[in-house]
Structure 1
Amino acid sequence: MALNGITQRDAHAAIRLVHKYHTPDRRRTRENLDATRNAIRTYNGTSPTDEQIWQATKAPLLSRNVRNFLWKALHGGHKIGNYFTNMPAPWCDYAICPLCEETETLQHILFECRSAETQTIWQLARDFLSPRLDEWPSLEVGSVLGCPLLEVKNDDNKTDHGLSRALRIVISESAFLIWKIRCERRIEYEDHPDDYYYYYYSPTAEEVTGRWNAIINQRIAHDRRLTNKRRYKNKALNEDLVLDTWYALLDLADNVPANWIRHPGVLVGRGTSRPRGRER
């Protein structure tokens, strides 16, 4: 193709191909890809390729902020833990979790920290899916990074697309909320445990529960909106997929029909706590 006839789209595609095959892997990226592959193999029984893992971070079911979070996490780009270790004081103190006095890793933040958000959110997620999910998966960082690839099998050993989608949404949103609250505590309020405002704004288990409920309700409401074929045409979500996703997981009144998507005034999800500003 002559250069004077190339389009901007073709040029960008060519540049991406060059970068794909000529840019060496970063060590942390390779480690995270391997951890993700191992976690997905443990749950699904099959190993995804690198390409499948990267494509999963672009899954339409993920919210934009979650996509960015997962993509950056796969690259090891979050500024936590060892990123600060060799810096002069006071920056080196940011390497350590002030609640647990351990080096902050993504594994620690999401699953091991004694913070209210880490202790509360995964229990909420487990309880929310318990009406349909017989066994909660053993989660680790790799499970979160590859959560759009998780598959739940039905009794016929076939993928339950609705329940798989619900699991992916709940895990991704739960992990991102833990990360967001952690960043508020460590960056916005600067870990001042003796500060009145730190105590006032540091979330309790009740507030964490309210924020988690609000986010799940937002995702369910978003699914409802995306089924509008008049507005989204061929990009609209399939109503059956949405109903299968949230089947038996919602608090619905007795008079609500099985297809609640178009029913006016339906309160979906669990909990009605008003979210803080960023979740509104």
Structure 2
Amino acid sequence: RRRTQMNLERTRAATEALTGKQPTDKLIWSGLHHKDLSTSETRQFLWMTMHDAYKIESWCAKCNVTESMKHIFFECEEPGQRQVWKLTEKLWARKESKLPNPSFANLLATSLVQLLGRNGAKLTGDTR
């Protein structure tokens, strides 16, 4: 599917920007099933998002643009969207690692990025 291929390309670019390595399709797909993703719901969400398989309206009534998961999470002007990211940043501030730039591509690359602490050590807990 064309949209799935576009999301694979986004994931590949985000992973390369964050890690310096470009993953194969096989690595991306296996990453979506990785045991370190906190729940099966998380794995299912990422798989459905990668395939652009969620049934959503074709038009955002608030913003008057085409609706998509990218729009819902990162572009929509509804107040709830901004609040979620503010809470995420507040929660993340309690972690040792730095929050990667919130973007749709980085969301898709979640399972492929290993976060590092200030001393360069892998942070398995933060990565989950």
Output the TM-score relative to the length of structure 2.
0.85
Q: Does 2:17 correspond to 1:37?
A: no
Q: 1:62 corresponds to which letter in structure 2?
A: S
Is 1:99 paired with 2:62?
yes
Question: How many residues are matched?
Answer: 127
Structure with greater contact order relative to length (CA < 8 Å, sep ≥ 6): 2
Match of 2:54 among 78, 81, 92: 78
Query: Structure 2: where are the runs of 5+ without partners?
Result: none
Amino acid at match of 1:74: M
Residue identity (%): 31
Higher helix share: 1
Partner Cα distance (1:68, 1:160) in 2: 24
Structure number, greater radius of gyration: 1
Question: CA separation of 1:143/1:157 partners in 2, compared to 1, >3 Å: closer, same or farther?
Answer: same
User: 21, 28, 31: which one pairs with 1:46?
Assistant: 21
Change (3 A) 1:153 1:130: same
CA offset at residue 97 of structure 1?
Answer: 0.8
Hey, which bits of structure 1, 4+ residues long, moved more than 3 A? none
Tell me by how many angstroms 1:51 deviates.
Answer: 1.2
Q: What's the C-alpha RMSD, in Å, of the aligned pairs?
A: 1.9
CA contact (8 A) 1:57 1:71 kept: yes
Inter-partner Cα distance in structure 2 for 1:46 and 1:33: 14
Partner Cα separation in structure 2 for residue 158 and residue 56 of structure 1:
21
1:98 Cα offset (Å): 1.2
Question: How far is 1:133 from its partner?
Answer: 4.2
Long gaps (5+) in structure 1? 1-25, 81-93, 166-280
- Alignment map for 1:46-65 (pairs within 5 Å): 46-60=21-35, 61-65=37-41
Q: Is the CA contact 2:72–2:81 (under 8 Å) kept in the aligned structure 1?
A: yes
